[in-house]
Amino acid sequence: MPHDHSHAGHSHAHIDPNAGDLRVAAAIGVNLLLTVAQIIGGIVSGSMALIADAIHNLSDAVSLVIAFWARKIARKPRDGQMTFGYARAEVIAALINYTTLVTVSIYLLYEGVARLIDPPGVDGWPVVWLAAVALVIDAATALLTWKMAKDSVNIRAAFLHNLADALSSVAVIVAGILILLYDWRLVDPIVTIGIALYILWHAFGEVKPVISILMLGAPAGQDATAVTARLAQIDGVSDLHHVHLWQIDERRSSVEAHVVVAGDAAPVLRALKTVLRAEFNITHSTFEVEAPGQGCAQA
């Protein structure tokens, strides 16, 4: 079995953890500087869209800090307290980040609607210039975390923060230009509402697999019924019950079951583990062997 475990962790071994940490740290620093600049610009110009963008940027920096520490914790080896290891720290970090994204979006919706009712005066030029700077920084931050986002639900949550921010910067630039050209003040709250709805839509889509892991759900695209049906076909298996299939973390899944075996259990257990590994990519499995008429079968 040791080979199975090393294979399970192989998918993300090509990312040097320290290089990833440096990238995330660089992204945090850049985002904090941008937040300060945008808040000042928003106050000076009177643009709610720019302040909204700044608050979102601050949440980007916070999301990256959470992602950074979760990565550190997740690499700790398993111990007597955490027998599965600490990898779920990244899943918890992702849930925190998606929750803050939803909270920020609801706040932006509220502000946008309030400003639709009473549109304020907005100075277009500072809005355009600061949003342009923000777009460059957001795009750079998104690029820093893009590669890592494919392998980690944690980094993906932080990446979504930055991607949403880059899009909102584009929207803010458009709003600033329309204010300059046509003095169309309603565009500022409309853009704010649009950004908020877009972020909400994305966050709700991405948070589902995170909740599934924390709720001990089966891996995406698999369910215990299909796994049970396949295992029941193996020669020597008389019955299979108390089957539980769940995700330990993003990269590892586990199965436990009671297996009723009439004859020699050793070859049957080998066959069960082989099928799980080959057909379902599941390397953690625990089977309790029962003889017909004994254990649960007796009850």
The CATH number assigned to the domain holding 142 equals 1.20.1510.10
**Domain assignment present for 297:** no
CA distance 86 to 74: 5
pLDDT value at position 120?
64
pLDDT greater at residue 123 or residue 237: 237
Domain boundary residue, one of 184, 214, 244:
214
Q: Do 185 and 95 belong together in one domain?
A: yes
Q: Which two tokens stand for residue 69?
A: 């520490």
pLDDT of residue 125: 76
Looking at residue 243, its amino acid is: V
Write out the residue range of the structural domain in which residue 85 sits.
2-214
Mean pLDDT of 98-114: 86
Q: What is the pLDDT of residue 6?
A: 32
Q: Which of the pair, 277 or 42, is modelled with greater confidence?
A: 277
The domain that holds 265 is classified in CATH as 3.30.70.1350
Could you tell me if 181 and 240 lie in one domain? no
The pair of structure tokens assigned to 239 is: 């019955």
255: tokens are 């199965």
Strands 237-247 and 284-290, by their bridges, are unpaired
| 3-class secondary-structure state, position 97 | helix
Where residue 16 falls among pLDDT bands split at 50, 70, 90? low
pLDDT confidence tier of residue 17, bands split at 50, 70 and 90: low
- How many domains in the chain? 2
Q: Report residue 37 CA to chain centroid gap.
A: 28
Same domain membership, residue 107 and residue 155: yes
For residue 148, CA distances in Å to 61, 132, 211 come to: 17, 25, 21
User: Half-sphere exposure of 110 toward its Cβ, with a 13 Å CA cutoff?
Assistant: 6
Whole-angstrom distance, CA of residue 148 vs CA of residue 23: 10
Q: Dump the DSSP string for 25-82.
A: HHHHHHHHHHHHHHHHHHHHHT-HHHHHHHHHHHHHHHHHHHHHHHHHHHTSPP-SS-
State the Cα–Cα distance between residues 41 and 122, nearest whole angstrom: 11
